[in-house]
Amino acid sequence: MYKEAFLAALTVFICYGGNWLFGQTMIERPLVVGCIAGLIFGDMRAGIIMGASLEAIFMGAVDIGGALSAEPVTATVLATTFSIVLNVNEKAALALAVPIGVLAAFISMFMKNVVMNLFAPLVDKYAEENSPKKMAFIHYLMWFINYFVFSLITFFSVLEGAKPVQALVNSIPDNLMAGLSATGGLLPAVGFAILMRMLWSKQLAPYFFLGFILVAYLELPSVAVAALGIILVLVTSFKDKQLLDMENKQKELEQRPAVAGPSNSDATKEEQEEEDFFS
Partner 1 sequence: MKLTENMSKEDRKMLNGIFWRSFTVFASRAGATKAHAPGFIYSITPALKRYYKDDPEGRREAMMRHTTWYNITQNVGTFVMGLVASMEKKNSEEKDFDAESIVALKTSLMGPLSGIGDSIFWGVIRVIAAGVGISLATQGSILGPILFLLIYNIPSILTRYYLTYMGFSLGSTFIEKIYANGSMKILNKAASTLGLLMIGSMTASMVKFESKLSVPIAGGKPILIQTYLDQLFKGLVPLGITLLCYWLLSKKVNVNWILLGVLVLAIILGLLGVV
Site for partner 1 in 88-117 (CB under 8 A): 98-99, 102, 105-106, 109, 112-114, 116-117
- Tell the smallest beta-carbon distance from residue 278 to partner 1 (Å): 15
- Tell the smallest beta-carbon distance from residue 193 to partner 1 (Å): 4
Is the C-alpha dihedral spanning 109, 102, 57, 50 positive or negative? Answer: positive
What letter does residue 67 receive in the DSSP assignment?
A: E
Please spell the DSSP secondary structure of 11-24, one letter per residue.
Answer: HHIIIIIHHHHTTS
State how far Cα 224 lies from the chain centre. 22
Count of residues of this chain found to bind partner 1 when the rule CB under 8 A is applied: 121
d(CA 191, CA 200) in angstroms, rounded, equals: 14
Q: Contact with partner 1 (CB under 8 A): which of 152, 167, 168, 178?
A: 178
Tell me if 8 sits within 8 A of 66, measured CB to CB: no
Residue 168 binds partner 1 (CB under 8 A)? no
Is the C-alpha dihedral spanning 186, 38, 177, 164 positive or negative? Answer: negative
- Tell the smallest beta-carbon distance from residue 229 to partner 1 (Å): 4
Taking the least distance from each CB to partner 1, the nearer of 57 and 162 is: 57
Report 3-22 residues binding partner 1 (CB under 8 A): 20-22
Report 249-278 residues binding partner 1 (CB under 8 A): none
- Tell the smallest beta-carbon distance from residue 69 to partner 1 (Å): 6
Residue 187 binds partner 1 (CB under 8 A)? yes
- Tell the smallest beta-carbon distance from residue 173 to partner 1 (Å): 9
Give whole-number Cα distances, 82 to 8, 59, 101, 155, 253, in Å: 10, 21, 14, 13, 71
d(CA 58, CA 252) in angstroms, rounded, equals: 51
Build a one-symbol-per-residue string for 21-60: x at contacts with partner 1 by CB under 8 A, - elsewhere: xxxxxxx-x-xx-xx--------xxx-xx-xxx-xx--xx
Q: Contact with partner 1 (CB under 8 A): which of 149, 225, 253, 267?
A: 225
Residue 195 binds partner 1 (CB under 8 A)? yes
| Span interacting with partner 1, options 74-82, 85-93, 240-248, 266-274, rule CB under 8 A | 240-248
Give whole-number Cα distances, 27 to 21, 32, 121, 271, in Å: 11, 6, 31, 53
Helix (H, G, I), strand (E, B) or coil at 63: strand
Residue 142 binds partner 1 (CB under 8 A)? yes
- Please name the helix (run of DSSP H) or strand (run of DSSP E) that holds residue 50, with its range, or none: helix 44-57
- Tell the smallest beta-carbon distance from residue 92 to partner 1 (Å): 14
Q: Contact with partner 1 (CB under 8 A): which of 1, 42, 87, 132?
A: 132
Taking the least distance from each CB to partner 1, the nearer of 152 and 226 is: 226
- Tell the smallest beta-carbon distance from residue 52 to partner 1 (Å): 4
Q: From the DSSP assignment, how many helices (H) and strands (E) are in the chain?
A: 13, 2
